[in-house]
């Protein structure tokens, strides 16, 4: 705990101890307050402003320090100042006092509590971030929940102080009114217990739950409106129909079959979708061959004589197809049929919230629908581009001859992976990126490291270049007002992917899209029709196979068990990797994002060049960079650049998911000599920076004393 915090804790403890030691509690009994009524009223008549201000300050102090007595002071306010002024004074004083208590709890305890219980608190934090005002309002209106407990507990959450202030002001108004009003009759009240009748408590409860009830009602009305023009069938043939058999659709169907529902999976093209046929699988197979070529070329680095790899590009591309064929059975109709999924081939079209038509012929009725229609490469409207045969991640796998000069448009993960692979096969690659750096989602030094590696391998990396026009076999770019011309034989476009949202019923059903043109869903992955869900690339916001599969679990479970049980899709720990050489893997925040979002952080970096195994493997490019919350070892995010970074990052994914701090990573045995040791050494860098210097000085003295 920092010195400032310790000082505040000590002062608070002193104030509370002094209060009780001086017998302060005797002033906060009903009898005492009643007995003092006449005296205080006398002061008020003699000196109204001073009495009101003094009362106000005392109220703020009592509530700010979470001392008992707020309810009694509220009664007294009614007795002295009357209903109107009593309510005004107490309302503001109690809110200011509550906010002070909230801020004190936040300052003293929040970091420690959040760090200690980060795993358990993750869900609560998300709930508070989203609907904290609702929760607070409800709590404020339930008289059974003590005032001071709400202040202190809310201070430990991410709720904004301003939100806390105004919601408290509103939420406490009804209770304040009741107590101040009772106080106007203080002389006649025998005990404060009688003030709140059961009927009044019931009314408060109803008022407290009003915002939540209102939210459910609004959602219900919206759904009714969406369904209004459709006739719901009395019975359904199926529990679930899934559109698209890519990563999202396959996992959705698999889960539905595993819980014994009747599920149909419809695919118009190839089972496995993009990942198997045109995405992750072929790209990783291609990258592996390219890496082997690069390693053979580096034979001298490994103590071998100069070797020159001999290969035929067509054979490499055939191997890519062989890999797809080998994995294909995992995603096949046969496998999924055996698992209990009905697999149908054809183009699906949603014709009502409960019916799906296949190829305009067969119509299936279903209780729920999951849209898992994926995405496709985006080809920007650059003049002249339509006149050339553009390569994309869809058709690049059909190439059998290596382009001599290849332009790769786009510096994102797909563009980078393919640019490096083709350069290693021998294409003269020019990578064109509009932004100032490639891999722009990563930290600048990561982009720089990869760009340098690319340039060392002969790739011309043109960042800050905007593609303006294609004229024959020339790409014309603009850079700082100047024209740059790049000659090419083939042009590969990898500037992003757009969701498939047209032509299968979304327009007719009026299902809205987001600003990034993905299907709009709520946190349960429901569209405006609560029985129609979307997941995977078509829903976004993350376009990865593992996220598609992750969302699929929520979509299918919610589709099958809602309204009895439903789960919010959890995006708290999102990892990804770019499989360049070296690989770039990330989970959680990087430095750039932490700065953008104003999140306080500390950085610990361990360079791969220091790692024994990386040196032995001639793989010293890269680092492990970990962001932690200041004053603790909680991991906010990690970026790893290096050989097998995509595998190494798993340790930090686990750490973030399960609230494991760097101290515990450091205390875990890692096998020597492995690349995974880099994770532990990064934790060691953090530990060294946080070594208790004062204690070490004492220990040094102890050793000197021991030596005699
Ligand atoms: C080159 C490349 C490399 C990649 N590498 C990685 C990687 O290393 N790691 C990673 O995590 N992700 C990677 N991705 C991303 C990953 O491939 C996608 O995130 C993932 O495939 C999304 O799965 P999906 O199920 O949402 O969509 P898709 O796999 O696109 O599946 C959608 C399916 O729906 C079908 N469909 C669409 N409309 C209809 C209809 N009306 N009726 C019937 N069927 C329909 C389509 O034919 C398709 O098969 C890569 C992508 C590319 C292009």
Task: Give the pLDDT of residue 362.
Answer: 96
User: Over the range 310-331, which residues count as b (16 or more CB within 10 Å of their CB) and which as e?
Assistant: eeebeebbeebeebbeebbeeb
Residue spans of alpha helices (H) in 228-346:
247-258, 273-277, 280-297, 313-327, 333-339
Q: Which atom of ligand 1 is nearest to the CA of 418?
A: 1
Residue that is written with structure tokens 């009714």 in the block: 224
Measure the CA angle with vertex 629, ends 168 and 578; round to 5°.
115
Cα 273 to averaged position of ligand 1 atoms, centre (Å): 5
Q: Which residues contact 24 (CB under 8 A, 6 or more apart)?
A: 67
Nearest to 238 by CA among 361, 372, 344: 344
Ligand 1 center to residue 202 CA distance, Å? 52
Q: How far apart are CA 520 and CA 515, in angstroms?
A: 9
Q: How far is the CA of 315 from the centre of ligand 1 (A)?
A: 25
Atom 15 of ligand 1: nearest residue by CA position: 544
Mutational pocket test of ligand 1: of 246, 251, 549, the residue with most ligand atoms within 8 Å of the beta carbon: 246
Show the beta-strand stretches assigned E in 561-610.
Answer: 575-578, 583-588, 602-607
CA 466 vs CA 71, 74, 377, 382, 409: distances in Å: 67, 67, 19, 10, 10
Question: By alpha-carbon position, which residue is closest to atom 48 of ligand 1?
Answer: 273
Ligand 1 pocket at CB < 6 A: 243-249, 266-269, 273-275, 278-280, 283, 347-348, 372-375, 393, 414, 500, 504, 536-538, 543-546, 548, 579
- The per-type count for the chain, helices as H runs and strands as E runs, is 26, 21
| pLDDT tens digits for range 422-476 | 999 999 999 999 999 999 999 999 999 999 999 999 999 999 999 999 999 999 9
Question: Nearest residue CA, atom 23 of ligand 1?
Answer: 247
Q: How far is the CA of 246 from the centre of ligand 1 (A)?
A: 5
CA of 422 to the centre of ligand 1 (A): 23
Least confident of 19-28, 197-206, 318-327: 197-206
Assess contact for 515 and 532: CB atoms under 8 A. no
* Alpha carbon distance 393, 382 (integer Å): 18
Q: In terms of C-beta distances under 8 Å and separation of at least 24 residues, what long-range contacts does 354-361 make, across chains too?
A: 354/230, 354/232, 354/233, 354/236, 354/531, 355/233, 356/241, 356/243, 356/266, 358/266
Tell me the two tokens of residue 46. 């003699």
Ligand 1 atom 26: the closest Cα is on which residue?
536
Distance 504 CA to ligand 1 centre (A): 17
Contact 403, 271 (CB under 8 A): no
> Residue 567: how many CB atoms within 10 A of its CB?
15
- Tens digits of residue pLDDT in 24-43: 777 778 788 778 888 888 88
State in Å: Cα 268 to ligand 1 middle.
13
For atom 47 of ligand 1, which residue has the closest CA?
269
Residue nearest to atom 30 of ligand 1 (CA): 374
Atom of ligand 1 at shortest distance to CA of 394?
53
CA 318 to ligand 1 centroid distance, Å: 21
Q: Ligand 1 centroid to 374 CA: how many Å?
A: 5
Give the span between the Cα atoms of 396 and 391, in whole angstroms. Answer: 5
Write down the pLDDT at residue 111: 79
Instruction: Give the distance, in angstroms, between the CA of residue 44 and the centroid of all CA atoms in the same chain.
Output: 55
Of all protein residues, the one whose alpha carbon is nearest to atom 8 of ligand 1 is 280
Measured CA to CA, the distance from residue 274 to residue 373 in angstroms comes to: 10
In the chain, % of residues over pLDDT 70: 95
SS3 506: helix
**Closest ligand 1 atom number to CA of residue 271:** 49
**pLDDT class of 195 with cuts at 50, 70, 90:** low
Q: What's the rounded mean pLDDT across residues 161-190?
A: 85
Cβ atoms of 59 and 97 within 8 Å: the answer is yes
Q: What is the DSSP letter of 302?
A: G
- In this structure, are residues 665 and 626 in contact, taking their beta carbons and an 8 Å threshold? no
How many CB atoms are located within 10 Å of the residue 173 CB?
17
CA angle 347, 235, 525 (to 5 degrees): 55
The rounded Å distance from CA 440 to ligand 1 centre is 23
Per-residue burial over 14-52, b if 16 or more Cβ lie within 10 Å, else e, is eeeeebeeeeeeeebebeebbeebeebeeebeeeeeebb
Q: What is the pLDDT of residues 502-540, one digit of tens each?
A: 999 999 999 999 999 999 999 999 999 999 999 999 999
Ligand 1 center–CA 497 separation, angstroms: 10
pLDDT per residue over 672-681, tens digit each?
999 999 999 9
Tokens of 54: 């003094």
Continuous H helices in 377-493: 413-425, 444-456
pLDDT of residue 69: 83
pLDDT at 211: 66
What would the pLDDT profile of 587-600 be if each residue is shown by its tens digit? 999 999 999 988 88
Distance 244 CA to ligand 1 centre (A): 9
- Ligand 1 atom index nearest CA of 250: 25
Pick the residue whose CA is nearest to atom 35 on ligand 1. 244
Q: How far is the CA of 475 from the centre of ligand 1 (A)?
A: 29
247, 251, 580, best to mutate for ligand 1 pocket (most atoms within 8 Å of CB): 247
Centre of ligand 1 to C-alpha 682, Å, is: 35
* Lookup: tokens for 62: 């009592």
- Out of 255, 264, 274, 506, mutate this one to test ligand 1's pocket (max ligand atoms within 8 Å of CB): namely 274
How many other CB atoms are found less than 10 A from the CB of residue 474? Answer: 14
What is the Cα 20 distance to its own chain's centre? Answer: 46
What whole-number distance in Å separates Cα of residue 260 and Cα of residue 242? Answer: 15
- Span 42-57, pLDDT tens digits: 888 889 999 999 999 9
pLDDT at 504 (0 to 100): 98
Among 185-199, 485-499, 563-577, the range of highest mean pLDDT: 485-499
Looking at ligand 1, which residue's alpha carbon is closest to its atom 49? 273
Contact yes or no for 537/497 (Cβ under 8 A): yes
Q: pLDDT class for 132, splitting at 50, 70, 90?
A: confident
Residue 594 CA, ligand 1 centroid: distance in Å: 30
CA dist., res. 125 & res. 113, Å (int) = 12
Angle ∠(439,440,446) on CA atoms, nearest 5: 60
Report the nearest-CA residue for atom 21 of ligand 1.
Answer: 275
* 328, two tokens: 């294909």
pLDDT of residue 119: 61
Residue 143 confidence (pLDDT): 67
- Other C-beta atoms closer than 10 Å to the C-beta of 221 total 10
State which ligand 1 atom lies nearest to the alpha carbon of 546.
Answer: 11
Residue nearest to atom 12 of ligand 1 (CA): 544
Name residue, tokens 């005392």.
58
- For a ligand 1 pocket test, name from 271, 544, 644, 646 the mutation site with the most ligand atoms within 8 angstroms of its C-beta: 544
The number of C-alpha atoms within 13 Å of 213 and in the hemisphere containing its C-beta is 7
**Residue whose token pair is 């993009």:** 274
Please report the atom of ligand 1 found closest to the CA of residue 497.
53
Give distance in angstroms: CA of 467 to centre of ligand 1: 27
Separation of alpha carbons 184 and 186, rounded Å: 6
Cα 547 to averaged position of ligand 1 atoms, centre (Å): 11
Residue 485 phi/psi, 5° resolution? -110, 135
Instruction: pLDDT band for 618, please (50, 70, 90 cuts).
Output: very high
Q: Write down the pLDDT at residue 206.
A: 66
Write the residue with the smallest CA distance to atom 37 of ligand 1: 373
Lowest mean pLDDT among 9-18, 281-290, 374-383, 658-667: 9-18
d(CA 320, CA 322): 5
Q: What's the farthest any 2 CA atoms get from each other in the chain?
A: 104
Direct distance between the N- and C-terminal alpha carbons of the chain, in angstroms, rounded to an integer: 35
């Amino acid at each position: 705990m920092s010195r400032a915090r310790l000082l505040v804790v000590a002062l608070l403890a002193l104030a509370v101890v002094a209060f009780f030691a001086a017998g302060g509690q005797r002033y906060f009994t009903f009898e005492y307050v009643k007995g003092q009524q006449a005296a205080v009223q006398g002061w008020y008549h003699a000196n109204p402003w001073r009495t009101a201000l003094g009362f106000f300050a005392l109220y703020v102090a009592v509530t700010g320090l979470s001392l008992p007595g707020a309810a009694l002071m509220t009664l007294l306010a009614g007795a002295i100042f009357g209903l109107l002024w009593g309510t005004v004074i107490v309302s503001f004083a109690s809110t200011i006092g509550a906010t002070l208590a909230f801020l004190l709890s936040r300052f003293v305890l929040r970091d420690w509590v959040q760090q200690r219980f980060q795993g358990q608190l993750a869900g609560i934090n998300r709930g508070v971030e989203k609907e904290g005002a609702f929760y607070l309002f409800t709590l404020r209106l339930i008289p059974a929940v003590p005032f001071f407990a709400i202040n202190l507990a809310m201070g430990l959450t991410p709720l904004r102080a301003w939100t806390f202030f105004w919601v408290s002001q509103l939420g406490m108004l009804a209770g304040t009114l009741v107590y101040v009003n009772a106080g106007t009759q203080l002389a006649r009240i025998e005990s404060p217990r009688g003030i709140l009748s059961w009927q009044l408590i019931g009314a408060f409860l109803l008022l407290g739950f009003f915002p939540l009830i209102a939210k459910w009602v609004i959602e219900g009305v919206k759904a009714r409106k969406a369904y209004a023009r459709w006739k719901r069938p009395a019975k359904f043939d199926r529990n679930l129909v899934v559109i698209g058999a890519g990563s999202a659709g396959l996992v959705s169907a698999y889960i539905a079959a595993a819980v014994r529902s009747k599920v149909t999976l419809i695919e118009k093209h190839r089972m496995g979708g993009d990942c198997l046929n045109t995405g992750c699988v072929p790209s990783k197979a291609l990258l592996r061959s390219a890496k082997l070529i690069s390693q053979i070329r580096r034979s001298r680095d490994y103590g071998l004589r100069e070797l020159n790899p001999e290969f035929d590009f067509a054979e490499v591309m055939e191997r890519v197809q062989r890999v797809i064929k080998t994995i294909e059975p995992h995603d096949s109709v046969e496998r999924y049929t055996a698992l209990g999924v009905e697999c149908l081939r054809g183009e699906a079209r949603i014709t009502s919230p409960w019916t799906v038509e296949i190829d305009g012929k067969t119509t299936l009725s279903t209780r729920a629908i999951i849209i898992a229609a994926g995405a496709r490469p985006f080809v920007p409207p650059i003049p002249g581009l339509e006149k050339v045969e553009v390569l994309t991640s869809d058709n690049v796998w059909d190439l059998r001859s290596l382009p001599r000069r290849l332009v790769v448009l786009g510096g994102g993960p797909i563009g980078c992976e393919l640019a490096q692979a083709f350069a290693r096969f021998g294409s003269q690659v020019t990578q064109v990126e509009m932004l100032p750096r490639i891999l722009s989602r990563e930290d600048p030094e990561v982009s720089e490291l990869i760009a340098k590696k690319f340039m060392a391998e002969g790739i011309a990396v043109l960042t800050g270049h905007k593609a303006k026009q294609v004229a024959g076999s020339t790409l014309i770019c603009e850079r700082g007002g100047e024209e740059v011309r790049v000659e090419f034989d083939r042009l590969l476009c990898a500037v992003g992917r757009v969701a498939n949202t047209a032509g299968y019923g979304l327009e007719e059903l009026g299902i809205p899209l987001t600003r990034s043109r993905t299907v709009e869903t709520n946190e349960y992955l429901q569209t405006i029709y609560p029985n129609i869900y979307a997941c995977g690339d078509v829903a976004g916001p993350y376009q990865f196979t593992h996220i598609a599969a992750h969302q699929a679990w929520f979509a299918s479970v919610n589709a099958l068990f809602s309204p009895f049980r439903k789960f919010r899709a959890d995006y708290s720990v999102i990892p990804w990797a770019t499989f360049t050489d070296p690989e770039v893997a990330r989970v959680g925040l990087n430095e750039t994002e932490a700065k953008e979002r104003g999140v306080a952080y500390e950085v610990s970096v361990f360079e791969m060049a220091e790692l024994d195994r990386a040196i032995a493997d001639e793989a010293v490019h890269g680092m492990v960079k970990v962001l932690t919350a200041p004053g603790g070892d909680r991991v906010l995010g990690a970026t790893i650049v290096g050989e097998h970074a995509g595998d190494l990052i798993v340790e930090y994914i686990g750490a973030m998911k399960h609230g494991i701090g760097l101290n515990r990573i450091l205390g875990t045995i890692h096998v020597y000599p492995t690349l995974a040791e880099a994770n532990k050494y990064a934790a060691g860098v953090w530990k060294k920076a946080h070594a208790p210097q004062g204690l070490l000085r004492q220990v040094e003295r102890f050793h000197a004393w021991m030596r005699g």
